[in-house]
Structure 1
Amino acid sequence: MGVSPQAQQFAEFLASTNAKISTPDLDLAIVRDLADGHHKASTEPEGVTYAEVDAGGVPALWVIPEGAEPDKALLHFHFGGSVVASMHSDRKAAGHIAKAAGARSLVVDFRLAPEHPYPAQLDDAETAYRWLLSQGYEPRNIGSTGHSIGGTLAVMLPLRLLVKGEATPGAVVSISPWTDLTIRNPSVDANEDTDKMLSRATLELFRSAWLQDPGLDFADPKISLDKADLTGLPPTQVHYGEYETLADDGARLARRLADFKITTEVHPMPEGQHSFILGAGRVPEVDQAIQQMGHWLRTHLGH
């Protein structure tokens, strides 16, 4: 059983985009424009409307499927290593997930590094969450979702709230998360040829832009979920592609969630790429994974 032709086309799309982005000496503004083009890999989800909002000072995009439950919301964080991508690059993929979950999704346009290093992205995530609460959503009815660094933020947010003794979102879906900021997992080098988006060099570039405080240890539990105390996290579903450099990051997070007795499910996608949800609506394997995400969120939100 090989992967679908659509999955192969998606990998080729990522490779061609990555080749453009990797042109030497490109201005960061141009790299960001190219990264926003990743939305072209997803189809426009039918029956979804959009509304730009100010979420307590953080720009965000409501993704609103027809017939969405009025009292439930997802809080979605985009990919891009904290350096590139935006609410626009994730709009369509977030729409497919929102449809599967039967809930609207707030796609957060968090600030980017290097202009805004850690913890600006997590601060914006928390601000957007508090804005949702101010709009009348109850914590247990909010799902925290995201991919790549967004998949990291989707877990970091409830961990930060737990430290403050506050109610967390009711469920998490973390896709292709970056959980080891020391970048020591074997899959980083083992999957260098199969991952069409990320490489060790890209991860190191993102890390230097994001974590600028010289006093910050890359193994600090605040930034490496690999080392974090996961006690008290809500039900958390983890997805990753077996072909991605961060495959071990996803697998290790899933194992640690189980060790901490968190309600969890893990879905490794055979030959799956990093941030595979960008293939939403076009790649059958991706659409199947999105149905699993939707089922998880429908099952666990509101309890």
Structure 2
Amino acid sequence: MLQNLLETSLRQTMNRMVRPLLHPAVPVSLQRTFTAQAYRSSVPPRGCKFDTVTIGGIKGTRTRHGAATEGVVLYLHGGGYIIGSSSTHRGITGHLAKASGHTIIAPDYRLAPEHPFPAALDDAESAYEGLLKEGHAPASIGIAGDSAGGGLAIALAMRLRDKGRPLPASLTVFSPWVDLTHQHLYSPEREPVLQPRWIEKAAGLYAGKEPRTNPLMSPIHGDLSGLPPLLIQVGSEEILLNDAQRLSEQFNQQGSDATLEIYNSLWHVFHVHAGQLSRATDALAEAAAHINRHRAK
């Protein structure tokens, strides 16, 4: 009963406070400031340790909880490629670190419009290669991300595969943004977070002069074969639901292994409420299990 009331309260909060900020008329600079404040409600678990690090020349945040294993997760934050940072996502990385026992590395990849495509992808690749240079075995590395970071995680795996580089053990994405053409957006009865006009503006800022069908920007338009096992988690109350389903179907049809989990009555990247909302905490526990299941022991 209390969890149902909490879900209702959080949904209303997202709808009244976050969704209005994610509007094309709000300057990106203000969106960055306001959303950074909003993310302060996403609280990591007690016992987390956060350190500023540089991996592969890219600054970011290292998150640990307790005695970490040798496993590491490269976590790519969301924000439409225009907002967000490793600091805003400490709630998610903290709970993922606790649930998985892994060290989480969240790089602060460059953002648009100052740095359009492929800056974010280049930085994500540099961070991954940095982990390899530090001695982390590919089989001990997972790549995860939410929203734009989820799409970036898939794109990074595709680029690594195409270059013949060692692939990570697993991929884990939350509410992934994988089709910047927006041709198949879902129309839920309610959408507490995202506005189509906002993601359209964000897509234009990130794409610049590049066609949005570029698979390294919109992975759903590319070859998804030969990629690591993928877990997709998405809420039923978000406009990206169709794209998550399409990603899962194409992943499996092209010979890779994808698992899709749809959380009824939850919204875009509901994982930010882990530690408060039991279903968000449980979802991250499932994500951690996926990562651990595929990591070489």
Instruction: Determine if the TM-score, normalized by the shorter chain, exceeds 0.5.
Output: yes
* Partners of 1:224 and 1:23 in 2: CA distance: 22
Alignment of 1:119-198 (within 5 A): 119-187=118-186, 190-191=187-188, 194-198=190-194
8 Å Cα contact 1:91/1:107 also seen in 2: no
Question: Matched residues, percent identical?
Answer: 29
Against the structure 1 CA distance between its residues 22 and 162, is the aligned structure 2 distance closer, same or farther, given a 3 Å change threshold? closer
Q: Mind listing any 5+ residue stretches in structure 1 that lack a counterpart?
A: none
- Could you state the TM-score of these two structures normalised by the residue count of structure 2? 0.95
Residue 54 of structure 2 is matched in structure 1 by 54
Tell me the secondary structure at the aligned position of residue 59 of structure 2.
Answer: strand
Tell me the secondary structure at the aligned position of residue 226 of structure 2.
Answer: coil
Tell me the secondary structure at the aligned position of residue 87 of structure 1.
Answer: coil
Residue 244 of structure 1 is matched in structure 2 by 238
Q: Quick one: which of 254, 265, 270 aligns to 2:259?
A: 265
Say yes or no: does 1:67 pair with 2:61.
no
Tell me the secondary structure at the aligned position of residue 105 of structure 1.
Answer: strand
- Could you state the TM-score of these two structures normalised by the residue count of structure 1? 0.93
* Partners of 2:3 and 2:234 in 1: CA distance: 15
8 Å Cα contact 2:22/2:195 also seen in 1: no
Tell me the secondary structure at the aligned position of residue 221 of structure 2.
Answer: coil
Deviating runs (4+, > 3 A) in structure 1? 22-27
CA RMSD of aligned residues (A): 1.9
Deviations along 1:186-221, whole A, 9 cap, x unmatched? Answer: 40xx12x522211110111101110001xx322232
- AA at the equivalent of 1:286: A
* Partners of 1:72 and 1:44 in 2: CA distance: 20
Say yes or no: does 1:21 pair with 2:17.
no
Tell me the secondary structure at the aligned position of residue 287 of structure 2.
Answer: helix
- Residues paired across the two proteins, number: 297
Q: Mind listing any 5+ residue stretches in structure 2 that lack a counterpart?
A: none
8 Å Cα contact 1:141/1:169 also seen in 2: yes
Residue 31 of structure 2 is matched in structure 1 by 31
8 Å Cα contact 1:3/1:271 also seen in 2: no
Tell me the secondary structure at the aligned position of residue 283 of structure 2.
Answer: helix
- AA at the equivalent of 1:170: A
Say yes or no: does 1:296 pair with 2:279.
no
* Partners of 1:17 and 1:45 in 2: CA distance: 24
Residue 198 of structure 2 is matched in structure 1 by 202
Residue 215 of structure 2 is matched in structure 1 by 221
8 Å Cα contact 2:81/2:206 also seen in 1: yes
